[in-house]
């Protein structure tokens, strides 16, 4: 994994998958040639966890998607967290040695790409957040 040239960027990824601008980073993550799924860890309709890898720099990520059915609003709330992880952590997740529910603890001292789409919002908000986060299954 290539270390970046100082600055305050985290030591993960490249200028595409870990772009300073969260919207730019997300565009790369969504691109077919950007960050590709490597292994599905959980694939429930409201809780989807996968290990992904950047096509440019091979940085591994864990992606956690949760959806909450909102019977009142017309659309369901969706939340997605994408955290860069080491190859060893990716191996642990894929081998089942690390529960996806504990993946949030890996966020300590790192940034993660967060996409929040509450049921009452017209568009998702995308931003870099940092630190440990809670992994909860949607419903
Ligand atoms: Zn990359």
pLDDT tens, residue by residue, 84-139 = 999 999 999 999 999 999 999 999 999 999 999 998 888 999 999 999 999 988 87
Would you say residue 3 has pLDDT above 60?
Answer: no
Q: How far is the CA of 73 from the centre of ligand 1 (A)?
A: 36
pLDDT value of residue 72: 72
Domain range annotation of the chain: 22-130
Q: How far is the CA of 104 from the centre of ligand 1 (A)?
A: 21
Work out the pLDDT band at 73, boundaries 50, 70, 90: low
- How many CB atoms within 10 Å of residue 91? 15
pLDDT value of residue 1: 46
Would you say residue 2 has pLDDT above 90?
Answer: no
Q: How far is the CA of 14 from the centre of ligand 1 (A)?
A: 4
Q: How far is the CA of 38 from the centre of ligand 1 (A)?
A: 14
Work out the pLDDT band at 7, boundaries 50, 70, 90: very low
Q: How far is the CA of 59 from the centre of ligand 1 (A)?
A: 6
Instruction: Give the tens place of pLDDT for each residue, 16-72.
Output: 999 999 999 999 999 988 999 999 999 998 999 999 999 999 999 999 999 988 777
The three-state (H, E, C) secondary structure of the chain, written as one string: CCCCCCCCCCCCCCCCCCCCCHHHHHHHHHCCCCEEEEEEEEEECCEEEEEEEECCCCCEEEEEEEEECCCCCCCCEEEEEEEEECHHHHHHHHHCCCCHHHHHHHHCCCEEEEEEECCCCCCCEEEEEECCCCCCCCC
pLDDT value of residue 6: 42
């Amino acid at each position: 994994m290539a270390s970046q040239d100082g600055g305050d960027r985290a030591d993960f990824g490249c200028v595409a998958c870990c772009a300073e601008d969260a919207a730019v980073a997300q565009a790369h993550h969504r691109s077919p040639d950007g960050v590709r799924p490597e292994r599905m860890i959980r694939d429930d309709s409201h809780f989807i966890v996968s290990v992904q890898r950047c096509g440019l720099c091979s940085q591994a990520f864990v992606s956690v998607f949760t959806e909450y059915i909102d019977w009142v609003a017309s659309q369901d709330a969706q939340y997605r967290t994408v955290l860069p992880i080491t190859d060893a952590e990716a191996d642990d997740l894929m081998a089942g040695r690390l529960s996806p529910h504990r993946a949030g603890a890996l966020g300590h001292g790192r940034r993660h790409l967060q996409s929040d789409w509450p049921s009452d919002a017209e568009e998702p908000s995308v931003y870099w957040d940092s630190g440990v986060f809670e992994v909860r299954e949607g419903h």
